[in-house]
């Protein structure tokens, strides 16, 4: 009823409440919110960034922009971007400490640990023959901020897991090198999550469509030199 009174389908109006991760929200999503606001001046966006996932239903958010798996069965999701993850290190580190030849070698290396949500500390997971294996790693440096751990890797402090979205430009410039590039890690695809029972408004759909169009713009992915692998496609609501 609100949309029927306030505007047409092609002219979205009203409030959209959006949540995103702290670093990615600040550096990547916030500029897109600005661009969307210029295109749709009648839409009001309340944009919040947090270091942990929020309860969209309790917080009355229309959507959240997050990497990784569906955090709550009450939510539906739309994939914005496929995003592989890789092991990487600076040439300076590899020259000093050597390059691991097997996943098991990581246990003897200095690893930079990115603490995320409730993940077990220092446990890195990888996929072998469609099932998940785990290895315990250690290192002197850890942080819950992705930009910080990436900076430490660039400065030669150790081996890090990061997504190709973050790595592409550094691998292309030679500031970082892939380590064990044939190792398959759980992906960090980017999704928009939204409450399943809530009917999406035209303004929320317009914002999601806008995000999808922006992330479909080509960016140069990480080249591994390995044969392409077939990845399972999971259906999402």
pLDDT at 49 over 90: yes
Work out the average pLDDT over 169-190.
Answer: 94
pLDDT for residue 113 is more than 60: yes
Cβ neighbours of residue 83 closer than 8 Å, sequence gap 6 or more: 67, 163, 164, 165, 187, 188, 189, 190
What is each CA distance from 175 to 18, 112, 154, in whole angstroms?
A: 34, 16, 7
With contact defined as beta carbons under 8 Å apart, do 12 and 42 qualify?
yes
Helix (H) or strand (E) run with residue 98 in it: none
Tokens at 109, concatenated? 């290396």
How many helices (H) and strands (E) the chain has is answered by 8, 12
Q: Looking at per-residue confidence, does 231 or 148 come out higher?
A: 148
Return the minimum-mean-pLDDT range out of 3-17, 97-111, 127-141, 223-237.
223-237
| Segment 185-204 mean pLDDT | 87
Average model confidence (pLDDT) across the chain? 86
Q: What is the length of the chain?
A: 237
Q: Which residue has the higher pLDDT, 108 or 77?
A: 108
Q: The tokens of 46 are what?
A: 């309340």
For residue 63, which of 16, 29, 22 has the smallest C-alpha distance? 16
- Taking residues 32-42, report their average pLDDT: 96
pTM over 0.85: no
For 160, left (φ over 0), alpha (ψ -120 to 50), or beta? beta
At 221 the three-state DSSP class reads: coil
Q: Is residue 235 classed as helix, strand or coil in its secondary structure?
A: coil
Is residue 225 classed as helix, strand or coil in its secondary structure? Answer: coil
Query: Which tens digits make up the pLDDT trace of 54-83?
Result: 888 889 999 999 987 766 677 888 998 888
Question: Could you read off the pLDDT of 149-164 as tens digits, one per residue?
Answer: 999 999 999 999 999 9
Contact at 8 Å (CB) between 152 and 90?
Answer: no
The neighbour count for residue 73, using CB atoms within 10 Å, is 8
CA dihedral defined by 152, 154, 158, 163, rounded to 10 degrees?
90
The domains found in the chain, sorted by start residue, are 2-82+189-215 (3.40.190.10), 85-179 (3.40.190.290)
**Is it the case that residue 226 has pLDDT exceeding 80?**
no
Give Cα 113 to chain centroid, integer Å: 16
CB 222 within 8 A of CB 31: no
* Range in 14-18, 116-120, 226-230 with the lowest mean pLDDT: 226-230
Whole-number Å distance between alpha carbons of 123 and 109: 14
To the nearest 10°, report the CA torsion of 20, 66, 191, 173. 100
- Categorize the per-residue pLDDT at 219 as very low, low, confident or very high, splitting at 50, 70 and 90: low
Structure tokens at 37: 């606001």
């Amino acid at each position: 009823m609100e949309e029927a009174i306030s505007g047409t389908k092609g002219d979205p109006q009203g409030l959209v409440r959006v949540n995103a991760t702290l670093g990615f929200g600040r550096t990547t999503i916030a500029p897109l919110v600005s661009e969307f606001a210029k295109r749709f001046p009648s839409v009001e966006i309340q944009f919040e960034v947090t270091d942990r996932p929020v309860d969209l239903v309790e917080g009355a958010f229309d959507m959240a922009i997050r990497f990784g798996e569906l955090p709550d069965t009450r939510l539906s999701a739309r994939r914005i971007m496929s995003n592989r993850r890789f092991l990487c290190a600076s040439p300076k580190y590899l020259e000093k400490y050597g390059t691991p030849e097997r996943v098991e070698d990581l246990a003897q290396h200095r690893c930079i640990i990115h603490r995320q949500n409730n993940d077990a500390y220092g446990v890195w997971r990888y996929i072998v023959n469609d099932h998940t294996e785990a290895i315990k790693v250690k290192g002197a440096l850890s942080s819950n901020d992705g930009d910080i751990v990436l900076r430490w890797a660039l400065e030669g402090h150790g081996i890090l897991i990061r997504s190709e979205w973050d790595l592409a430009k550094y691998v292309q410039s030679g500031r970082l090198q892939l380590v064990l590039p044939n190792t398959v890690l759980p992906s960090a695809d980017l999704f928009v999550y939204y409450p399943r029972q809530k009917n999406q408004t035209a303004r929320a759909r317009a914002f999601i469509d806008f995000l999808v169009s922006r992330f479909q713009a080509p960016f140069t992915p990480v080249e591994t030199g390995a044969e392409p692998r077939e990845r399972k496609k999971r259906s999402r609501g």
